[in-house]
Amino acid sequence: MIVEENLYRQVMEKMPVVCVDAIIINELGEYLLVKRKNEPLRNKFWMVGGRLYKNELTIDGVKRKIKEEVGLNIKLAKFLGHFEEFFDKTAQNIDGNFHSISFVYLVFVSSDSKVQLDEQSSEYKWVKKLPAIFNEYLPWLENERVIKI
């Protein structure tokens, strides 16, 4: 963690946190999802992603998060858009809700990529269709005909 835990809790309680997320797809049209161990979205399959560091470009942040969380080095990523999240639960158990603003990238990898999970996820899977929960947080994906959910 770049910021001391107690200070980060205070930041989370008072302002939005900027994040990056990656919709990872292979040449077979399969999406890589990870099952989260922590709140928010604990025990849900979701995108790889997380907080952006100060002075870190969003593209660099998404590359870093993919390397950290699933062990993949990526070269090609396309910015898709952003979304805002409001969560009641966080791993830090903050007072009030958690507000994040996330920049979403579409990332291409090979189907023979070797996924290596970090401690934040319990498992991963490749799916042909993104789960319905994506419509709740990213309705523009399907509405804009970016991705079929």
- How does pLDDT run across 7-19, given as a tens digit for each residue? 877 777 788 989 9
- CATH assignment of the domain containing 46: 3.90.79.10
pLDDT value, residue 27: 95
Asked whether residue 120 is domain-assigned, the answer is: yes
As for how many domains the chain has, the answer is 1
pLDDT in tens, 124-142: 999 999 998 888 888 888 7
In our burial notation (b when 16+ CB lie closer than 10 A, e otherwise), range 90-101 reads beeebeeebebe
What was the pLDDT predicted at 10? 76
Q: Does residue 148 fall inside a structural domain?
A: no
Per-residue model confidence as pLDDT tens digits over 104-128: 999 999 999 999 999 999 999 999 9
Decide if 149 is inside a domain. no
Residues 35-43 have a mean pLDDT of 89
Is pLDDT above 60 for 1? no
Beta strands 98-109 and 77-87 are antiparallel
> Which whole number is the average pLDDT over 95-110?
89
Q: Which domain holds residue 118?
A: 5-143
Does residue 147 have a pLDDT over 70?
no
- DSSP β-bridge partners for residue 145: none
Span 58-94, pLDDT tens digits: 999 999 999 999 999 998 899 999 999 887 766 666 6
Question: How long, in residues, is the chain?
Answer: 149
Is residue 83, in this structure, part of any structural domain at all?
A: yes
What is the model's pLDDT at position 93? 66
Q: What is the pLDDT, as a whole number, of residue 94?
A: 66
Residues linked to residue 45 through DSSP beta bridges, in sequence order: 35
pLDDT-based confidence at residue 143 (cuts at 50, 70, 90): low
